Amino acid sequence: MKNDIFENQSIPKAVGSLALPTIMGMLVMIVYNLAGTFFVGQLHDANQVAAITITMPVFLLLMAFGSLFGVGGGSYISILLGKKEGEEAKQAASVAFYGSLAIGVICMLAGLLFMPQILHLSGASDNTYEYAKGYLMIIAVGSPAIVASFALGQIIRAEGAAKQAMAGMMIGTVINIALDPIFILWLGMGVTGAAIATVIANIISVSYYIYYFVKNDSQLSISFKKFVLNKAILKAIFSIGTPASINSLLMSTSNIILNNFAVHYGDNVVAALGVVSRVVLIPIMLLFGLCQGVQPLIGYNYAANNRKRMISIINFTALWGTAIGTIFALLFYWMGKRTIEVFINDPVVVDLGENFLQVILLSIPFLGIQFLLTTSFQAMGEGIPSLWLSISRQGILFIPILIIANAWGGLKGVIYAQPMADIMTTVLAVVLFYREVRKEQVLLGKKQ
């Protein structure tokens, strides 16, 4: 790791060095997410587009488990490296890797055993059930690779190797995009083909990450010799990773609930929501990439007691996050219909999607600050505030708002629920972070 990035480089250069590769990696992931929907949309079958939307909660669930070991392990590794505890960092990396593999196997078995129950719970209708089943069957088999791929990318990023983490994502995504038209269109496999392409891509990404560790370019290790069920390591990984995991878990739960509300208004509504969710992934993933990229920088400086530099990094990133979110919100508001038409040409779905997109864009300018402060708490090892923010955006705020808004405003209320929850969570994030900063100032004053 080049400690100069963490300790001495100017804030813009340090943020750029770590965040830009991560953002580029997220851009590749965005293309991957959009490509599957795009090629399935070329089949001109709204039911197959809806099937991908219905199975999205399962993918988010796998991300939740990847976050448990990836974000938890990665954040803890950054803190250990900031304290110059290299051997403990190697042990933490090994525990995070093998933990992600183990939980991926458990997800595979659970997915295959409880397939019908999962599909019905996710909101599959008579028109979408078989399509969703074909997709989910393949994703379940590939669960270990999907979970491990997400976790390993976070672990590698924790030591400042953002370019290598991006490369792993890019390799898998390029392969996924190349395989999508082959399986979906040329072989006529539809949504099942999309799932096969996804699993193959994740297996190749994992292979690249393992090669990165094996060729000794890393100061970390995923060797089984370093695997130690150390209580302190497990406690740290779970205390930091659980809030991030709960965030993805609640995203999965909220998507299931949203699908169940939406399906009552018809499969076209589900399809439109699916397309819109892919479109808004562009600014969301870019902002997430920005915040994930600076997480090691924040964690390192926090552990090194360089609070002034840490706050400067957070302020600089918040400014850019707000600017990026605002630009994309204005851009998609202006060209929303044309964006929806890229993925599907059904006029009913396009009109619904345009209306949904205009509403959901209302909260995009606020997400940069929300993601940044949640990431900052994780980087500082502050699991409780991070947990509150995680369960607010997709849980204790979103779900009650969704239920009340649906009862009050029908479909319109359902669409407004997420932006309302996002804005309220951002306010909560600012309040919690201000309290944390005040507490730090008091503690430092007492020490002096």
% of the chain residues with pLDDT over 70: 94
pLDDT value for 320? 93
Q: Which of 25-34, 357-366, 415-424 has the lowest mean pLDDT?
A: 25-34
Instruction: Give residue-wise pLDDT tens across range 348-385.
Output: 889 999 999 999 999 999 999 999 998 888 788 776 78
- Residue 33 confidence class, pLDDT cut points 50, 70, 90: low
Share of the chain above pLDDT 90, in %: 31
- At position 361, the amino acid (one-letter code) is L
Mean pLDDT of 375-403: 82
pLDDT surpassing 70 at residue 441: no
Beta carbons of 194 and 183 less than 8 angstroms apart: yes
194-198, 294-298, 312-316, 401-405, range with the lowest pLDDT: 294-298
Cβ density class 344-365: b for 16+ within 10 Å, e for less:
bebeebbebbbbbbbbbbbbbb
- Do 46 and 271 meet the contact criterion of CB atoms below 8 Å apart? yes
**Residue 448 pLDDT:** 45
Highest mean pLDDT among 152-156, 386-390, 394-398: 152-156
DSSP label at 9? Answer: S
Q: Report the number of distinct structural domains present in the chain.
A: 1
**Alpha-carbon gap, residue 34 to 168, rounded angstroms:** 19
Amino acid at 378: Q
Output the DSSP codes for 385-410.
HHHHHHHIIIIITHHHHHHHHHHHHT
pLDDT at 217: 66
Among the listed residues 296, 249, 212, the one whose alpha carbon sits nearest the alpha carbon of residue 393 = 249
Q: For the residues 180-198, what does the mean pLDDT come to?
A: 92
Q: Give the relative orientation of helices 143-158 and 129-141 as an angle to the nearest 10 degrees.
A: 60
Q: Which two tokens stand for residue 120?
A: 């019905």
pLDDT at 2: 52
Q: What is the pLDDT of residue 173?
A: 84
Q: Given a cut of 60, is residue 447 above it in pLDDT?
A: no
Q: Supply the DSSP string of 275-301, one letter for each residue.
A: HHHHHHHHHHHHHHHHHHHHHHHHHHH
Over residues 198-202, mean pLDDT: 93
Secondary structure of residue 217 in the 3-state scheme? coil
Per-residue pLDDT band for 104 (boundaries 50, 70, 90) equals: very high
The mean pLDDT value for 397-410 works out to 90
At residue 363, the pLDDT reads 92
- The boundaries of the domain holding residue 292 are 3-447
What is the rounded CA–CA span in Å between residue 244 and residue 10?
Answer: 29
pLDDT number for residue 3: 62
How far apart are alpha carbons 167 and 163 in whole angstroms?
Answer: 6
For CA atoms 423, 285, 301, 73, the dihedral sign is positive
pLDDT average, residue stretch 87-97? 88
Helix (H) or strand (E) holding 130: helix 129-141
Closest by CA position to 18, among listed 10, 228, 133: 10
Q: For residue 182, which phi and psi values (nearest 5 degrees)?
A: -65, -50
Q: If you average pLDDT over every residue of the chain, what do you get?
A: 85
Q: Output the pLDDT for position 4.
A: 67
Q: CB-hemisphere CA count at 13 Å for 15?
A: 21
Q: How confident is the model at residue 1 (pLDDT cuts 50, 70, 90)?
A: very low
Candidate from 5-9, 333-337, 356-360, 414-418 with smallest mean pLDDT: 5-9
User: What sign has the CA pseudo-torsion 193, 196, 202, 205?
Assistant: negative
Q: At residue 97, what is the residue type?
A: F
Residue 176 above 80 pLDDT?
A: yes
Per-residue pLDDT, averaged over 96-121, amounts to 92
pLDDT at 155: 87
Q: How confident is the model at residue 175 (pLDDT cuts 50, 70, 90)?
A: very high
pLDDT at 301: 84
Measure CA 211 to chain center: 24
pLDDT at 443 over 70: no
